[in-house]
Structure 1
Amino acid sequence: MTSDPASTGGLAPAGTPGSARASYPSLSGKRVIVTGGGSGIGAGLVEAFVQQGAQVAFVDVADGPSLELVDRLGGAAHAPVYRHCDLTDVAKLRATIAEIEAILGGVDVLINNAANDDRHSIAEVTPEYWDERMATNLRHQFFAAQAVVPALKRAGGGVILNFGSISWHLALADLVLYQTAKAAIEGLTRSLARDLGRSNIRVNTIVPGNVETPRQMKWYTPEGEAEIVAAQCLDGRIQPSDVAALVLFLASDDARMCTSHNYFVDAGWR
């Protein structure tokens, strides 16, 4: 690992204090898939891996911001590849991953980032809404992992990083289905890590705190933001680049003995 900004084109992810960011030689040329990569944390992940010299493909349903991201990063050594994909459609998910594998020549890293934290009350939940929320926030993580495992084994190993949420650790209000799904992801990670470890496949959960993204900003007033910062151990708002810094480390060979655990980036908001 180095901290030479020139090795990533002298760029630092948006929101990064200063310009020097860690560089991981082991990520150069790696074939990375990011779900939900068109905006927010996902876009920060795509940018961070591109800056490491990785070959990145990402899926999303929001074509506008996704294509803008591809255009913005088009001058990189490996420009990112975007494919529209509704992750609740498992057949489409499998087909899209197969297409990406063919484009990249394999897969080394899967980042299961996509999710949706729409608020809801207990009384509003129907069986149909339950199924839709589980498909949106949990089911695709398993089926994406299942789809890439053969490619990871052919590569001699790899990394799967599942995104959880701090919300259920804090028992936040009006998120019962989202928090149920996110709690299950930590169990999914432990199970996958055990079953895939002898194939040199590492699986971990990333648990972000409240990250300052346009989507999150719509839920909070300035007073609400101040309450979050006051509850953290550290001042300031978490940025997508802060989450990306942890993801890069766990995806790199520097984290070769890290698996089956949850890694928080929450400024101590617990």
Structure 2
Amino acid sequence: MKGDIENGAVYASLKGRVTFITGGASGIGEGLVEHFCAQGARVTFVDIAADAGQALVERIKAKGHAAPRFIRCDLKQIEQLRGAIEETVKRDGPIRALLSNAGNDDRHRSEDVTVEYWDDRMAVNLRHQFFAAQAVRPHMRDAGGGSIVNFGSITWLVGDGDCPAYVTAKASITGLTRALAREFGPERIRVNCMMPGWIMTERQVKLWLTPEGEKQIADRQCLPDRLYPADIARMALFLAADDSRMCSSQNFIVDGGWV
């Protein structure tokens, strides 16, 4: 059961809340954008995929929800990321919720990894999360606090062996989250880590949901149902809302009981 936006919980504190989402044009990020807009948040999202980003804006408008703003951004270029954050603040006011979702889990073998590929994977999956948090911090602080949700993965807990650079980056996000939560906490900025399981995005289904993959899900998950972006979005709404005001420095796993 995928669930729908209209029948989910409503968080009053998210209405009008300035929210910044990375990697929002597809997959889990697309679900985040849809759900936060349905709550009435003032959403800006960034992605490198311009066509998909603009198409998502139009779909949300057509549903009658609060329309998001899309900014094309290559997150490997930190100055572009900083520029998008400052543009958002100038337009909407201080960002109170940051969801650092963007990443790429392309498969690779250790023997094929070059120094250049390794550095690229760190830039795609880890580096931008730190610099996004660094950029929003003064705005959250001056506004009286905020919520940062870094997106990790259960891959490092289970020790996936087909993407070691990705697994390393995702493990590092847990450490980053705990360090920032301790440093930012006195400013009432909460920092948590979301750790999804195997989410049935269009990309995952197309590339990796083989009969063997289906069997793995059946064998590993406690729950029989498939996970969808909406399942992650609903947890993210809670973490961004005032309802979770005393939750920080934690990993929130949504994986159907895989680990």
**Residue pair 1:152, 1:158 contacting (<8 A) in 2 also:** yes
CA separation in 1, counterparts of 2:65 and 2:107? 40
Q: Which residue of 1 aligns with 2:42?
A: 55
Q: Which runs of 5+ in 2 are unaligned?
A: none
- Say if 1:77 and 1:211 are closer, same or farther in 2 by CA, change over 3 A: closer
Partner letter of residue 195 of structure 2?
V
CA separation in 1, counterparts of 2:92 and 2:74? 20
**Residue pair 2:27, 2:203 contacting (<8 A) in 1 also:** yes
- Specify which of 73, 78, 94 is matched with residue 106 of structure 1: 94
**Residue pair 1:229, 1:237 contacting (<8 A) in 2 also:** no
Q: Which residue of 1 aligns with 2:243?
A: 254
Q: Which residue of 1 aligns with 2:22?
A: 35
More helix per residue? 2
Q: Say whether 1:227 aligns with 2:216.
A: yes
Q: Say whether 1:207 aligns with 2:226.
A: no
Q: How far 1:77 sits from its partner (Å)?
A: 5.1
CA separation in 1, counterparts of 2:171 and 2:165? 10
Q: How far 1:245 sits from its partner (Å)?
A: 0.8
Deviates more, 1:222-231 or 1:135-144: 222-231
Q: Which runs of 5+ in 1 are unaligned?
A: 1-13
Q: Secondary structure at the match of 1:146?
A: helix
Q: Secondary structure at the match of 1:22?
A: coil
Q: How far 1:189 sits from its partner (Å)?
A: 0.2
Partner letter of residue 132 of structure 2?
A
- Say if 1:18 and 1:194 are closer, same or farther in 2 by CA, change over 3 A: closer
How do 1:70-109 and structure 2 match up within 5 A? Answer: 70-75=57-62, 76=64, 78-109=66-97
**Residue pair 1:229, 1:236 contacting (<8 A) in 2 also:** no
TM-score (norm. length: structure 1): 0.92
CA separation in 2, counterparts of 1:102 and 1:72? 25
The Cα RMSD (Å) is: 1.4
Q: Which residue of 2 aligns with 1:166?
A: 154
Q: Which residue of 2 aligns with 1:44?
A: 31
| Larger RCO (CA under 8 A, 6+ residues apart) | 2
Give a deviation string over 1:26-67, Cα, whole Å, max 9, x none: 111100000000001000000000011100000001112111
CA separation in 2, counterparts of 1:199 and 1:155? 10
CA separation in 2, counterparts of 1:19 and 1:98? 32
Partner letter of residue 84 of structure 2?
T
Q: Say whether 1:16 aligns with 2:10.
A: no
Q: How far 1:230 sits from its partner (Å)?
A: 2.6
Q: Which residue of 1 aligns with 2:13?
A: 26
- Specify which of 115, 127, 148 is matched with residue 103 of structure 2: 115
Q: How far 1:228 sits from its partner (Å)?
A: 1.1
Q: How far 1:114 sits from its partner (Å)?
A: 0.1
- Say if 1:17 and 1:55 are closer, same or farther in 2 by CA, change over 3 A: closer
Q: Say whether 1:196 aligns with 2:199.
A: no
How do 1:169-184 and structure 2 match up within 5 A? Answer: 169-184=157-172
Partner letter of residue 125 of structure 1?
V
CA separation in 1, counterparts of 2:219 and 2:9? 29
Partner letter of residue 243 of structure 1?
I
Instruction: Give aligned pairs, total.
Output: 257
Identity of aligned pairs, percent?
51
